[in-house]
Structure 1
Amino acid sequence: HEAMTDLIALMGTLVDNKGHILIDTLYDEVAPLTLEEEELYKPITFDTAAYCSEAGVQSTIQSEKDQILMHRWRYP
């Protein structure tokens, strides 16, 4: 067996297709999103197309600006 292939297969089981980590209790220590915090993301200027271009990808897992930023900054 090729170790890298096995590692990639293993890592693929740790996250679902929306980027949610599938390890039990991992999110237990993550504070719930408050309305106040959610409002902080709205005025942020963020160009999804430019982000994808700079990252070298065609699209992101999350489609909304707020969700992209939260998954980059807030969630594990």
Structure 2
Amino acid sequence: MLCVQCGTRSNPCRCKVVGPTVGLLACAAAAVVEWPVGAVVYIFRHMKGRRIMAHPIHVVYPRVSSAIPI
């Protein structure tokens, strides 16, 4: 699995490969834990469950992907 993001200004090549790939792996690892927890919480508190299930996509992936400029 390899992710490529072109058109960025964070490096001279304007393409990122390592950051998005590691970000996707970190997102998948967080999702394995957070989606089942979010599903259980969703039964009782809908908005809280949705926020938990959205956390890997909205927080984990962007932070990891932008932390690695390559």
TM-score normalised over the length of structure 1: 0.30
Larger RCO, structures 1/2 (Cα 8 Å, 6+ apart) = 2
Structure having the higher helix fraction is: 2
**If you compute each CA radius of gyration, which structure gives the higher value, 1 or 2?**
1
TM-score normalised over the length of structure 2: 0.31
